[in-house]
Amino acid sequence: MSRPEFTVLARDPGTAARRGRLVTAHGTVETPAFMPVGTAGSVKAMTPQEVAGLGYTMILGNTYHLALRPGEEVVARLGGLHRFMGWERSILTDSGGFQVLSLAERRAIDDDGVDFRSHLDGRLLRMTPERSMAIQAALGSDVAMAFDDCPALPSPPERLREAVRRTTAWARRSRDAFAQDDRALFGIVQGGDDRALREESAAAITAMGFEGHAIGGVSVGESAALSREVVAATAPLLPAGRPRYLMGMGTPADLVTMIGHGIDLFDCVLPTRNARNGSLFTSTGRILIKRAGYREDPRPIDPECGCEACRLYSRAYLRHLFVAGEILGLRLNTLHNLYHYARTIREARAAIEAGVYAAFRDAFLARIEAGEDEDVQPAPAAGAVAGDRDG
């Protein structure tokens, strides 16, 4: 079996959007693609069969969480992460760097790696590029990520510079430690909100021969407008012939916008986590299902949605389940949000194929702009994003 291969099938004439195909040992991933987050070996509240049934072909697994519990050696002895969790399609694992820096306690970072205490039991552990590669190899993911230094925003310029320098050195060590087999290794570009640093990081990382490239260090405390600006400026710096992955970011409006900048892969906790908080995405925004106004509302979450929750149940029933703390409510909410993301991406792919992506994007964003967002929250302060990539 050879390394995963990426092919660009079509380019939209009016934007930078592309339709592509990533083929791994576990199947074909049509891009643009969204990866549900399977934090600790499960996409919360869904079975793998349900996730596949929604059309998803790749999910994300968290190296940090799986290494702490149950431990990558346990997963390896049970046949690797695919077999362990019963997911036969592709898996991308993150490097663990984000959680080590955001979730673990009493961390100390130096040029060699990061000392940290497990947030589960306080054990003192060390993560390095070599260790991250060994864990991801034991898990057997199809796409592994290089170990990077991902600072929150805002950070002082010297911290952003240090992170770029370290990310470059760690990318080289990750590549050198990565086994030559049928898996792919993606490099990560850092640089915060500093354009010159992003350019420097992109030049260094893309020179190392990775099979794909990610934009890291976005959605780490800054405004959504600034995130979009950073992605728009960084995406064109990444080689057009390899997949471009935007890490840990995305409302449906973000996805549709970023696809127009040439992003191929996304992951985000929003559809699953929001679902468990009763925040449901619709064609025109978001609704909070717990609101009293839905107590006797016979309408579905979204009249345009074809998911099981919308076909069979009313807002009134889903509100009742949520308020009563019924597990079924969390499952149906998650099912709906993941269906909504899958549908959005599917429509985006069709629009690229038809060469009308700009019109699709503008209409999609206009409906949300004109609609109502019941889940308006202030932007999180820096430091308040701890563990924000954990589904």
- Of 12, 94, 149, 373, which residue is the catalytic one? 94
Candidate segments 148-156, 238-246, 335-343, 353-361, binder of Zn ion by CB under 5 A: 335-343
Distance, CA of 175 to CA of 186 (rounded, Å):
9
C-beta of 315 vs 336, nearer to Zn ion: 336
Is 305 a binding residue for Zn ion by CB under 5 A? The answer is yes
Is 315 a binding residue for Zn ion by CB under 5 A? The answer is no
C-beta of 280 vs 351, nearer to Zn ion: 280
Among 87, 89, 95, CA closest to 24: 89
Distance, CA of 200 to CA of 215 (rounded, Å):
13
Residue with token string 């993301």: 341
Candidate segments 48-56, 213-221, 223-231, 303-311, binder of Zn ion by CB under 5 A: 303-311
C-beta of 46 vs 204, nearer to Zn ion: 46
Residue 77 in 3-state DSSP?
helix
Q: What number of residues does the chain have?
A: 391
Candidate segments 24-32, 51-59, 308-316, 364-372, binder of Zn ion by CB under 5 A: 308-316
Is 218 a binding residue for Zn ion by CB under 5 A? The answer is no
Among 351, 358, 339, CA closest to 34: 339
Does 176 participate in catalysis according to the annotation?
A: no
- Of 148, 267, 302, 373, which residue is the catalytic one? 267
What's the closest the beta carbon of residue 388 comes to Zn ion, in angstroms? 25
Candidate segments 42-50, 56-64, 238-246, 305-313, binder of Zn ion by CB under 5 A: 305-313
Does 267 participate in catalysis according to the annotation?
A: yes
Is 287 a binding residue for Zn ion by CB under 5 A? The answer is no
Give the list of residues 6+ apart from residue 165 with CB closer than 8 angstroms, or none.
none
Distance, CA of 224 to CA of 219 (rounded, Å):
7
C-beta of 263 vs 307, nearer to Zn ion: 307
Backbone angles phi, psi at 241, to 5 degrees: -85, -5
Q: Give percent helix, percent strand, percent coil of the chain, each to the nearest 5.
A: 40, 20, 40
Terminal Cα distance for the chain, rounded: 31
What's the closest the beta carbon of residue 286 comes to Zn ion, in angstroms? 13
Residues 254-283 that bind Zn ion (CB under 5 A): none
C-beta of 206 vs 314, nearer to Zn ion: 314
C-beta of 309 vs 321, nearer to Zn ion: 309
Size of the site for Zn ion (CB under 5 A): 5
59 Cα distance to chain centroid: 9
Is 336 a binding residue for Zn ion by CB under 5 A? The answer is yes
157-177 helix and 195-206 helix, angle to the nearest 10 degrees: 10
Which residues have a catalytic role annotated?
94, 267
Q: Which residues are at the interface with Zn ion (CB under 5 A)?
A: 305, 307, 309-310, 336
